[in-house]
A = this chain, B = another copy of it.
Amino acid sequence: MEKKPVVVGVDIGGTNTVFGFVDRDGNIIAEDRIKTNHYSDIKDFVASLYEKIMEAYKRIESGHEIIGYGIGAPMGNINKGTIEHAADLPWKGIIPLSDILSKHTPLPIIVTNDANAAAVGEMIYGGAKGMKDFVVITLGTGLGSGFVVDGKLVYGHDGFAGEIGHTSIRPGESNRDCGCGKKGCIETYASATGLKRTLLKVMADSIEPSPLRKFSFEELDAKIIHDAALEGDHIAIRAFEHTGKMLGFKLADVVAHTNPEAIFLFGGLALARDLIFEPTRRYMEQNLLSIYRGKVKLLESALSTQNAAVLGASSLIWSLKEHQ
């Protein structure tokens, strides 16, 4: 029997690294994950990841053959196969990820920004099918973005387009330190971590009782705040409102740059649905120039949180194959 070719799609996030074996039609044959933040050394991380991939591969090897590795990671650079100064990952400086993985395998490896990978996934398999101009915003530990213009992913001159998570919300000083070394980056507000930070601020300003006052910063996550908001907790609702205000403000900038047909919100925070979409849409519209108002769709990603980046990352290898 001829083996079916599959690509290993890998999504490296601040907390988890998810991978899957993806066939040409976007079916994920098998998937698994390892904890990103358990590895302080990148070589150990890559060795463990490769081992885990091989373990999973054994179970499907009789019918499938790996033809390459597509990897999405924060600050992933497609030109150089590196991860560079990623604020949300344990490894600092410039990480030659592609070189390190190529010690384990001779197959083609492509590295790109995780949000770029999600955008390609959305375009090929998700809600952006048939769209030529759209943006995907990933709201996880940090905030990532991937821009598609005229049907093609924007990489930019140095391969680093779409890092709007580190644009600032105002000139000069803001109080919020960002992992990137700057202050007031939008991801310090509009991300799962940003929501927690805003919750603490609201809690500090308010005297209202709330069950959330029982949780430590480390115990809190977007899901806990989401559940509290659904129960009508005012502090949680105000934290979502402020998060949407900051995100909506920045999305108005996104519209004025590339005038997309739609903006997709993706990742843990997007699962809060109306709690985040409603204020984001309201503040985006408020900040839009009249020519754009009411025209740009703010949509939920049509792919599951786990899948989009894995699918997108894998599709980079498929398109490489098809252009060869």
Give, as a whole number of angstroms, the nearest-CB distance from A60 to chain B.
37
Chain B residues near A134 (CB, 8 Å)? 157
Asked if A253 is at the interface (CB within 8 A of a chain B CB), the reply is: yes
Task: Tell me if A171 and B170 are in contact (CB < 8 A).
Answer: yes
Q: Which of B75, B156, B171, B254 contacts A133 (CB 8 A)?
A: B156
Contact of A257 with B168 at beta-carbon distance under 8 Å, contacts A154-B150, A289-B180, A291-B84 already known: no
Contact of A85 with B164 at beta-carbon distance under 8 Å, contacts A156-B133, A170-B169, A260-B157 already known: no
Copies in the complex: 2
Interface residues on A, range: 35 or more
A118-126, A210-218, A244-252: which one contacts chain B?
A244-252
Residue of A164, A169, A246, A291 with most chain B CB atoms under a 10 A cut-off = A291
How far apart sit A85 and B20, CA to CA, in the bound complex (Å)?
49
CB-nearest residue of chain B relative to A181? B290
Chain B residues near A246 (CB, 8 Å)? 171
Task: Tell me if A256 and B133 are in contact (CB < 8 A).
Answer: no
Chain B residues near A253 (CB, 8 Å)? 164, 167, 253
Asked if A147 is at the interface (CB within 8 A of a chain B CB), the reply is: yes
How far apart sit A182 and B252, CA to CA, in the bound complex (Å)?
12
Asked if A45 is at the interface (CB within 8 A of a chain B CB), the reply is: no
CB-nearest residue of chain B relative to A290? B85
Task: Tell me if B167 and A169 are in contact (CB < 8 A).
Answer: no
Q: Which of B85, B158, B170, B283 contacts A295 (CB 8 A)?
A: B158
Asked if A132 is at the interface (CB within 8 A of a chain B CB), the reply is: yes
How far apart sit A177 and B257, CA to CA, in the bound complex (Å)?
21
Asked if A105 is at the interface (CB within 8 A of a chain B CB), the reply is: no
Asked if A152 is at the interface (CB within 8 A of a chain B CB), the reply is: yes
Asked if A16 is at the interface (CB within 8 A of a chain B CB), the reply is: no
Task: Tell me if B258 and A161 are in contact (CB < 8 A).
Answer: yes
Q: Which of B150, B156, B292 contacts A152 (CB 8 A)?
A: B150
Asked if A37 is at the interface (CB within 8 A of a chain B CB), the reply is: no
Contact of A256 with B180 at beta-carbon distance under 8 Å, contacts A171-B170, A245-B171, A295-B158 already known: no
Asked if A221 is at the interface (CB within 8 A of a chain B CB), the reply is: no
Q: Which of B163, B168, B261 contacts A291 (CB 8 A)?
A: B163
Chain B residues near A163 (CB, 8 Å)? 256, 259, 289, 291-292
How far apart sit A222 and B133, CA to CA, in the bound complex (Å)?
37
Asked if A39 is at the interface (CB within 8 A of a chain B CB), the reply is: no
A residues near B (Cβ < 8 Å) are 75, 84-85, 132-134, 147, 149-150, 152, 154-164, 166-171, 180-182, 245-246, 249, 252-254, 256-261, 283, 287, 289-292, 295
Seed contacts A132-B157, A157-B259; 18 additional CB < 8 Å A-B pairs: A75-B291, A85-B291, A149-B156, A154-B258, A156-B259, A158-B291, A160-B291, A160-B292, A161-B258, A162-B256, A164-B253, A166-B256, A167-B256, A168-B252, A169-B171, A180-B290, A182-B287, A257-B257
